[in-house]
């Protein structure tokens, strides 16, 4: 058994959390999964539950405890803003942890999940959308990530909201018909009774009621309907999303480098990706594009760095290969 310090990299997301137990060379010794891990969206108590659950899984695999851990590195959205980290430190301490706790950006974890280069870009479009430029291994430029109300252009929320608006306009006859309407109505269990009041159908009233009774962010759940079948309205939404993501990236571009893609919106081929590359034009030639599934590898990479190591391409390769054994 190694006498080297053991480290935990945590990829703490809005819906689930992953913990990677690694040594300083990037050899993964354990891996665990937990529930929601972001204190901003899930609340501190529940987020701590999710993180601790993932950590317990990773430690159990290797027969270790938190007392053996030198550094814990949770990577999460808004890590900078939530300066008070007691919500997690207290829970870790209860389980014997007395090492260092170093928070990192989820964007940086996404980046180092795909590249070890000190210069490059990460673009994550899941529920939200954000681009960062990495220089000397740190974020030195940010585009969008402004949230559903002010930005996140080209994100899953943005697409879902556009789907909802397009369906509402179809039913309202203020917009073109779209094949998305029937499946979206079915999604909310809405069936027409044929009743029309003041020129407005009961299904449109039902849709309005259904959507306003939920938190706005849940519109992101409608994004898949835009990808589901060929439709001119859906195609227009997806192409515009791709263009928005390209414009956000263009705002931080300063030369060639790796571009790590995270989130489901841009990870598959199709209209979003096509419009994204077309809009970037020649600038795309200098980018080495690679998609990552989540930020677990990068969180472990950042844990190695936080422990004083100098992780490089070999570390990334080791992490990628050894984490794969566990999932």
- Which residues contact its own copies by CB under 8 A? 80-81, 105, 132-133, 138-144, 146-147, 149-151, 161, 164-165, 168-169, 172-174, 197-200, 205, 207-208, 211-212, 216, 219, 247-248, 251-252
Residue number, 8 or 252, with CB nearest to its own copies: 252
Minimum CB–partner distance for residue 180 and its own copies (Å): 14
Residue number, 83 or 230, with CB nearest to its own copies: 83
Residue number, 195 or 313, with CB nearest to its own copies: 195
With beta carbons less than 8 A apart as the criterion, state whether 275 and 149 touch.
no
Residue number, 169 or 320, with CB nearest to its own copies: 169
Beta bridge partners of 302: none
Query: Token match 């992101």: residue?
Result: 220
Residue number, 108 or 319, with CB nearest to its own copies: 108
Task: Tell me how far apart the alpha carbons of residues 105 and 103 are, in angstroms, rounded to a whole number.
Answer: 7
Task: Tell me how far apart the alpha carbons of residues 169 and 283 are, in angstroms, rounded to a whole number.
Answer: 36
Minimum CB–partner distance for residue 142 and its own copies (Å): 5
CA 186 vs. chain centroid, Å, equals 28
Minimum CB–partner distance for residue 279 and its own copies (Å): 13
Task: Tell me how far apart the alpha carbons of residues 235 and 179 are, in angstroms, rounded to a whole number.
Answer: 11
The encoded tokens of residue 99 equal 């090492």
Minimum CB–partner distance for residue 306 and its own copies (Å): 17
Minimum CB–partner distance for residue 62 and its own copies (Å): 34
With beta carbons less than 8 A apart as the criterion, state whether 54 and 75 touch.
no
Residue number, 80 or 321, with CB nearest to its own copies: 80
If you compute the radius of gyration of the chain from its CA atoms, what whole number of angstroms results?
22
DSSP one-letter code for 295: S
Minimum CB–partner distance for residue 181 and its own copies (Å): 13
DSSP one-letter code for 292: -
With beta carbons less than 8 A apart as the criterion, state whether 104 and 128 touch.
no
């Amino acid at each position: 058994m190694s006498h080297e310090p053991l480290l935990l990299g945590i990829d703490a997301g809005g819906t689930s959390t992953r913990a990677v137990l690694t040594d300083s060379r990037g050899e993964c010794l354990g891996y665990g999964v937990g529930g929601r891990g972001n204190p901003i969206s899930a609340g501190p108590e529940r987020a701590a539950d999710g993180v601790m659950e993932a950590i317990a899984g990773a430690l159990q695999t290797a027969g270790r405890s938190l007392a053996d851990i030198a550094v814990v590195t949770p990577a999460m959205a808004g890590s900078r803003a939530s300066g008070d980290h007691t919500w997690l430190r207290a829970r870790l301490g209860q389980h014997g942890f007395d090492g260092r706790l170093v928070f990192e950006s989820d964007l940086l974890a996404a980046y180092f999940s795909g590249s070890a280069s000190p210069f490059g870009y990460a673009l994550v479009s899941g529920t939200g959308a954000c681009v960062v430029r990495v220089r000397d291994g740190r974020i030195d430029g940010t585009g969008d990530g402004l949230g559903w109300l002010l930005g996140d252009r080209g994100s899953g929320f943005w697409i879902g909201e556009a789907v909802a608006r397009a369906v509402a306009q179809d039913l309202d006859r203020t917009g073109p018909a779209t094949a998305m309407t029937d499946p979206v109505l079915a999604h909310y269990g809405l069936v027409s009774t044929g009743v029309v009041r003041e020129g407005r159908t009961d299904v449109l009233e039902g849709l309005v009621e259904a959507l306003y009774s939920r938190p706005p962010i849940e519109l992101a759940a409608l994004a898949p309907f835009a990808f589901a079948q060929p439709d001119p309205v859906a195609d227009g939404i997806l192409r515009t999303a791709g263009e928005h993501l390209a414009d956000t990236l263009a705002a931080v571009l300063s030369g060639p480098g790796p571009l790590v893609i995270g989130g489901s919106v841009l990870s598959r081929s199709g209209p979003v990706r096509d419009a994204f590359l077309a809009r970037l034009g020649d600038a795309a030639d200098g980018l080495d594009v690679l998609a990552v599934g989540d930020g677990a590898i990068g969180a472990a990479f950042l844990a190695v760095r936080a422990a004083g190591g100098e992780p490089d391409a070999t570390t990334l390769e080791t992490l990628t290969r050894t984490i794969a054994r566990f999932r």
